[in-house]
Copies of this chain bind each other. A is one copy, B any other.
Amino acid sequence: MNKHVMRITIIGSGNVATHLAAVFKNAGHRIAQVYSRNLHNALLLAYHVGAEAIDKPEDISPEADIFFLAIKDDAIPAFVPLLSSYNKLIVHTSGAVGLNAIIKVTTNAGVFYPLQTFSKTKEVNFREVPLCIEGADEAITQTLEGLARDISNKVYRINSEKRKVLHLAAVFACNFTNHLYAIGEQLLTGSGMNFDMLRPLIAETADKIKEHSPAGVQTGPAVRNDELTMQSHLQMLNDKPDLQEIYTRLSQDIIKNQNTRNGDK
């Protein structure tokens, strides 16, 4: 294998930083440093990937090929000027932040956005994680693409505008979905039942759309326009006005979509 080994410094020690550091290391790259404001967190991650742990921005070494900013969105702008004088590639990993957050300081700029939800304690098959790549020029894009292909089979070139749409779609399909699970749990435990009863249904609902378009497999009272059941559900939620509102809004949107599919006006 004559692959070019990259020296990667990871800024951050959260879920994305942890998973990226591990998969880059496993793919044969070198993790140079791990920075975190919290030295304990930096040490934990650095230990696992054979890197140096640091907790002061001034200790970040120029001896790296790429700096990965895997930190909170609002911390990105402050970090770019600290690194730009090294003249190395700087990439962030955020769905919601544009490439211009880096470009306005240096054109050695890129984005490397993994479209997945990570927990530190749960393994993810990274080869199935969609990686959305954007570079300030074609050479950078190709460098990032090469790096992305080392760790995933699903590499996409996505510009900042589309990446923001992806991030928004992910909020609906992941964050909001998880909250609906939480509402289900809340309703069950409120009546003395265990959330375990809902788990097989949740698994099957997600499994179904692996091979179908979700709009095509919509089920439930709203898509049938079963007003009696919907009214009875709203009545059960009489002491939970927030859930009533969510129920109404989502049901109306399902009915509207269904009418559009049926060609109504």
Interface residues of A, Cβ cutoff 8 Å to B: 73-74, 96, 115-117, 119, 122, 124, 128-130, 154, 156, 158, 161-162, 164-166, 168-188, 190-193, 195, 197-210, 213-215, 217-223, 226, 228-229, 232-233, 236-237, 242-243, 245-247, 249-250, 252-254, 256-257
State whether B176 touches A250 (Cβ < 8 A): yes
Please measure, in the bound complex, the distance between the C-alpha atom of A158 and the C-alpha atom of B90, giving whole angstroms. 57
- For the complex formed, measure the closest distance between the CB of A201 and the CB atoms of chain B, giving whole angstroms: 5
Which chain B residues border A233 with CB–CB below 8 Å?
Answer: 168, 171
State whether B229 touches A96 (Cβ < 8 A): yes
Which chain B residues border A178 with CB–CB below 8 Å?
Answer: 205, 208-209, 214, 217-220
Chain A to chain B contacts (Cβ below 8 Å), 28 pairs: A74-B228, A117-B201, A119-B208, A164-B232, A164-B236, A165-B187, A165-B188, A166-B193, A169-B185, A170-B184, A170-B198, A171-B220, A173-B205, A174-B219, A174-B220, A175-B220, A176-B247, A176-B250, A177-B177, A178-B205, A178-B209, A182-B257, A195-B214, A203-B206, A205-B206, A242-B253, A246-B249, A246-B253
